[in-house]
Structure 1
């Protein structure tokens, strides 16, 4: 089910950069890495493996990092959006605008590194926390979007008004809906993959993380604030 929220996974993962901005090669390597991260590139081969524990302190730092990156990504996307008409024109001004766009991306890479440093998080920590956050928030958001809880209440109310025989016929559908609601509430898949402790600590900041997710969608949609 999480596959249907692939875009959400990309958006939340964008808050975790894939390589340190200072590791780019000369001649625009940092800019190329930034573009790869914007497209949801994979983590580097040197990323740590094995279980990762998300502490309350690390999660709080990550939420602050996300908010800072929202400002950075919002500015970047607006700048790139403004380049569109000029690039289509194919004029000398368009070429100059393209150069400005590359500089904008390079500044974003530095801002990303600065935000990580200010939060006291390593590149790997940002990526590992983002992975857990994505799994949890995507499922919770899907449950709200599909409004299964509201639909279950309506279905149960309808069932209660039916004759006994019809109630029995509707029972499997009601039970199936209950299981769906329970899945979005208890997050069994995320708990199996990341452990109860990690899921529970992420849920302590669910409101903030959901807001960050929604704001990131707006930033990538080019919504002006």
Structure 2
């Protein structure tokens, strides 16, 4: 009985060794690929979208067209919401009209892309980089870190030397934040210097469009 049990343990152990050996051994095609110098994991993956000056210029024009499209769409949806909430008999008809507004928006969006010479991938790729750059710029201005840094440095200069040291770490931290916003460190790390630099060539127009879009969505655009 003991011999049988020992034999079973050996068979189980040997079976496990064979499974582990088989699992650790590469498949023939994998081995061939490795010997042939095939691509390793991570190679061949697409990098960030490359923004060119020509496509960015086209995108700025596309944005201007979309301001009008979104303005019309939001007005239609706003009117729809008021009727549905009120529970009026016209609510069903208004809902159908609202769907037409959304469909018209999609059609106008596609037409604007075609007119600008951009594909959907172009619009999405450029929008991602533009949003990262412009939103970081706007956030820095909204938080007014630069002004706060100047105030903190002025306060530090008025203090005795021993008290100035107490503010040194806070001043250094805020200075790093200001530099990060000015140099767009996060956006550059994510999308590369070339993409960020191209976007900055149209910063004024992009910021204007950004602010206009905010007015559209808040209903304050005239």
The 5 A counterparts of 1:183-222 are 183-222=180-219
Partner Cα separation in structure 2 for residue 161 and residue 91 of structure 1: 67
The 5 A counterparts of 1:70-85 are 70-85=67-82
Higher deviation after alignment, 191-200 or 49-58: 49-58
Aligned to 2:99: 102
Aligned to 2:154: 157
Structure 1 residue 224: deviation in Å? Answer: 4.8
Aligned to 1:172: 169
Q: Is the Cα–Cα contact under 8 Å of residues 73 and 219 in structure 1 kept in the other structure?
A: yes
Find the residue that maps to 1:92 and give its secondary structure. coil
TM-score under structure 2 length normalisation: 0.77
TM-score under structure 1 length normalisation: 0.76
Aligned to 1:42: none
Aligned to 1:116: 113
Aligned to 1:53: 50
Partner Cα separation in structure 2 for residue 91 and residue 122 of structure 1: 42
Deviations 1:112-170 (A, max 9, x none): 00100111000001000011011111111100000000001111111111111111111
Partner Cα separation in structure 1 for residue 66 and residue 88 of structure 2: 32
Gaps of 5+ in 1: 1-47
Partner Cα separation in structure 2 for residue 86 and residue 96 of structure 1: 10
Higher relative contact order (CA 8 A, sep 6+): 1
Gaps of 5+ in 2: 1-44
Larger CA Rg, structure 1 vs 2: 2
Partner Cα separation in structure 2 for residue 79 and residue 220 of structure 1: 13
Q: Is the Cα–Cα contact under 8 Å of residues 58 and 117 in structure 2 kept in the other structure?
A: yes
Structure 1 residue 89: deviation in Å? Answer: 2.5
Q: Is the Cα–Cα contact under 8 Å of residues 54 and 201 in structure 1 kept in the other structure?
A: yes
Partner Cα separation in structure 2 for residue 82 and residue 223 of structure 1: 16
Structure 1 residue 51: deviation in Å? Answer: 3.0
Find the residue that maps to 2:108 and give its secondary structure. helix
Q: Is the Cα–Cα contact under 8 Å of residues 81 and 222 in structure 1 kept in the other structure?
A: no
Q: Is the Cα–Cα contact under 8 Å of residues 212 and 221 in structure 2 kept in the other structure?
A: no
Say whether residues 1:137 and 2:104 are aligned partners. Answer: no
Structure 1 residue 214: deviation in Å? Answer: 1.5
Q: Is the Cα–Cα contact under 8 Å of residues 66 and 212 in structure 1 kept in the other structure?
A: yes
2:178 to 181, 184, 204: 181
